[in-house]
Amino acid sequence: MQQWKRWSWAGVVAVVAVGCGDEGSKPPPPFGNEPVRQEARLETFPGCEALEQHIEDTATKQMRAVLEVYKQYTYGGGRGGEAPPTPTVGAPQEDSAGGGGSPTDYTGTNNQVSGVHEADFVQNDGTRIFVLSGQRLYLHRSWPAEQLARTAALEVEGWPREMLLDPERNRLVITSAVSEPRPGSGSGGRVTDGPAVDCAGFGCGGYGHGNTVKVTVVDVADLEAPRVLEQVYLPGGYLSARRVEGAVRLVVSDGFRWPADVRLYPEYSRGLFDNRLRLAAHIDALIQQNEQAIRAQTLAQWLPPGRRVTAAGEVKPLSYDCTSFYRTNAPTGLGLVSVLSLNLDASESEPGRTSLVAAPGEVYASHDALYLAARHWWWWPEPGQTTHTYLHKFDIRDPDRATYVGSGTVEGYVVNQFAMDEHEGVLRVATTVELPGEEVAGDGDAVWTPPETVNRVVTLREEGGYLKQLGRSEDLARGERIFSARFVGTRGYVVTFRQVDPLFTFDLSDPAHPRMVGELKIPGFSTYIHPLGDTHLLTFGEHRNEDGTWQDRALKLSLFDVSDLANPRETFTHQLGSMSSHSEALHEHKAFTYFPAKGLLALPFMDWDYNASDYWSGFRSELRVFRVDTATGFSPVGTVSVRDMYQAFNFQHWSWYWQPTVRRSIMADDYVYAISDAGLRVSHVSSLQTPLATAPFLPPAPAQPGPQGP
């Protein structure tokens, strides 16, 4: 029987659930796991006192859960003096000559829902291209294509993350991570003054650190003279953003800022871990000391205020109403998630804020609603646990605020935003359910059998303040998990993977009875599904051998005919790259650019030849372009290389945050633009290897935090 050691993370604190003491079984926890709430809901706070008490109660509970586990760390039989590991708390056909005032057609950000615009570090409107690279915003006149040129560069405070363009109002809304002096920490053991770190999605390696989300609204009507209209500073880290017409929603997450003298693990001293009673007494005293510090902290210390800076430089406090905060009746991880509403038609008004005291999760938005997903929180592993996700719906039809509508519960977890979709008032959710393993005898350690998995589609509708389940499909693909999902009208598509890639098709025309109607198994898996009308799917992922080995691993494009839902067929495939190849489009749908007007697909591509004589000759980064036809399959058109661009920069400037490899693309009529952190390049589709124009960026700034804000 296959076995594995069970690791438990309380909050985001790593502790190993072992029980190797010499005084019998492990002690019972101070409080039990809370059951799953099948009727989940959010509740407002009557005032600031109740909000503060809830924060402190939750913080105390998490602190106790972390420290109580350490009572198991006694070592006998010559193993005394060995301390447990130190924890870490985190926080979218005619030929064109390229002339005229604008292209006939062009691609924009690859949005999940038409008309619901998603943020990215690249934005364009056919004649203008905006790119965030390093700590700058670069503005370009991009049409006619042969006259591509940078018109201006604007320094952005901190480390820019993403932005949204409203071409009608000539506004860019930019988010960046800023580091500011602030007590409290999102990382600790002994918690000291410091930031709750936002590492811009690339890890913490010297770039992108920040404890504050900065929102910069820029007027881009004059491409040569962009003008900052408003700056908003809000404690925390950026998660996601959407725009519907002039209403922008930014989802921000903030870790709790613990008091400076709270310790979340017992400091090692000789003999402490040799005796369970001595260790338990030490931890009990530490718990009491920590709770006193937690209860003494003020609400302003738990929730530092934000601020606004007007175009005239006037600084105004960004206040919050305690009654706009919500708590869930179900246990979730410790944290804070806020939906910030910016109305671009009312620039003088203060942004609206709706906050949820809970850990962050996946974000999905339709035209009228925004959904937040958060997993049920098990404080420690016990037999019989299964994964559950709480879904919270907010009405976003009012551009000034997000209004809570209702909550629901589904078994399992959602892999990403594409696993959720709203259609005619019905929310469809694809989940992977982890069935609990069993605890078995081990060599002194807590040993568990691995959990099993099943997958399903669930439908829900809001009724009386709850998201109530309408129907559920049969369980499918036992032992596998969902890698990608897509819902199109009354159809649904789910890809799972273990060693082969089953594509499942669903008939969702009756929301109360979602049905899996077809299945197709092929080697590998798809990480992104792009619908081509109602009859075909274009997917991107990896080819893998059925035995799980990597020798024949490659990137893979596939076309599926799903005109007959009961009998899906993989009609064409195209493999590209070696075992070492990679594309950002594997995990980021915004890097996948399909141009339906021309039937063209562009993908950023990287590969390495480990037999090359040096790094540069073995490394390649380019934009690969394909013609896609449902009748003939994939036809390579060519590549746009940026080799000379990234070689022009010194290798030492590379980081997880700044990489001069091809990352995005734009297509306009018969022209293809390749975008990297090193610059922008355009070619005609008939001669991709011969650039028409190149607009290089400036060298990246040194690896240091951005300047302090006002």
Instruction: Assign 79 a pLDDT band (cuts: 50, 70, 90).
Output: very low
User: What was the pLDDT predicted at 36?
Assistant: 92
Please give the average per-residue pLDDT across 391-396, as a whole number.
97
CA geometry: angle 564, 567, 573, nearest 5 deg: 100
Same-domain pairing of 477 and 371: yes
Same-domain pairing of 384 and 506: yes
Closest to 360 in 3D by CA, of 245, 143, 196: 196
Between residues 255 and 79, which one has the greater pLDDT? Answer: 255
Mean residue pLDDT of the chain comes to 84
Same-domain pairing of 629 and 502: no
Same-domain pairing of 407 and 471: yes
Task: Establish if 500 belongs to a structural domain.
Answer: yes
Question: Could you list the residue range(s) of the whole structural domain that residue 25 is in?
Answer: 4-45+60-91+260-289
Instruction: Assign 20 a pLDDT band (cuts: 50, 70, 90).
Output: very low
Instruction: Assign 25 a pLDDT band (cuts: 50, 70, 90).
Output: very low
Contact criterion met (CB below 8 Å) for 625 and 643: no
- Please state the length of the chain: 710
- Alpha carbon 331 to chain centroid, angstroms: 22
Task: Establish if 161 belongs to a structural domain.
Answer: no
- pLDDT of residue 71 exceeding 90: no
Q: What is the pLDDT of residues 575-591, one digit of tens each?
A: 998 888 999 999 999 99
**No. of H helices and E strands in the chain?**
5, 46
Instruction: Assign 230 a pLDDT band (cuts: 50, 70, 90).
Output: very high
User: What was the pLDDT predicted at 349?
Assistant: 83
User: What was the pLDDT predicted at 524?
Assistant: 82
User: What was the pLDDT predicted at 632?
Assistant: 97
Q: What is the pTM of this model?
A: 0.88
User: What was the pLDDT predicted at 1?
Assistant: 36
Same-domain pairing of 386 and 486: yes
Q: Which of 487, 513, 528 is the last residue of a domain?
A: 528
- Cβ-defined contacts of 362-366 (< 8 Å, 24+): 362/414, 362/416, 362/417, 362/419, 362/420, 363/239, 363/240, 363/251, 363/417, 364/112, 364/417, 364/420, 364/421, 364/422, 365/113, 365/116, 365/242, 365/244, 365/249, 365/396, 366/113, 366/116, 366/421, 366/422
One-letter amino acid of 182: R
Task: Establish if 189 belongs to a structural domain.
Answer: no
Task: Establish if 182 belongs to a structural domain.
Answer: no
User: What was the pLDDT predicted at 545?
Assistant: 73
Q: Which of 528, 562, 593 is the last residue of a domain?
A: 528
Task: Establish if 237 belongs to a structural domain.
Answer: no
Same-domain pairing of 522 and 390: yes
- pLDDT of residue 31 exceeding 70: no
One-letter amino acid of 319: S
Q: Which of 273, 289, 305 is the last residue of a domain?
A: 289
Rounded to whole angstroms, the Cα distance separating 606 from 581 reads: 6
Task: Establish if 451 belongs to a structural domain.
Answer: yes
Q: What is the pLDDT of residues 474-526, one digit of tens each?
A: 999 998 999 999 999 999 999 998 755 689 999 999 999 999 999 998 888 89
Between residues 256 and 466, which one has the greater pLDDT? Answer: 466
Instruction: Assign 74 a pLDDT band (cuts: 50, 70, 90).
Output: low
Same-domain pairing of 426 and 519: yes
Please give the tally of structural domains in the chain. Answer: 3
Instruction: Assign 193 a pLDDT band (cuts: 50, 70, 90).
Output: very low
Task: Establish if 543 belongs to a structural domain.
Answer: no
Measuring CA to CA, how many Å separate 270 from each of 81, 82, 273, 276, 515? 6, 9, 8, 14, 62
Contact criterion met (CB below 8 Å) for 337 and 360: yes
Same-domain pairing of 407 and 505: yes
Same-domain pairing of 610 and 512: no
Instruction: Assign 437 a pLDDT band (cuts: 50, 70, 90).
Output: low
Q: 284 — alpha (psi -120 to 50), left (phi > 0) or beta?
A: alpha
Rounded to whole angstroms, the Cα distance separating 414 from 420 reads: 8
One-letter amino acid of 592: F
Task: Establish if 156 belongs to a structural domain.
Answer: no
How would DSSP label each residue in 363-390? EEE-SSEEEEEEE---SS--TT---EEE
Same-domain pairing of 487 and 605: no
User: What was the pLDDT predicted at 8?
Assistant: 33
Same-domain pairing of 466 and 613: no
User: What was the pLDDT predicted at 525?
Assistant: 87
Contact criterion met (CB below 8 Å) for 538 and 574: no
Same-domain pairing of 478 and 593: no
Instruction: Assign 452 a pLDDT band (cuts: 50, 70, 90).
Output: confident
- pLDDT of residue 99 exceeding 80: no
User: What was the pLDDT predicted at 462?
Assistant: 97
Contact criterion met (CB below 8 Å) for 490 and 565: no
Partner residues linked to 572 by β-bridges: 559
Please give the average per-residue pLDDT across 127-146, as a whole number.
96
Rounded to whole angstroms, the Cα distance separating 47 from 367 reads: 32
Three-state DSSP class for residue 286: helix
Please give the average per-residue pLDDT across 167-188, as a whole number.
80
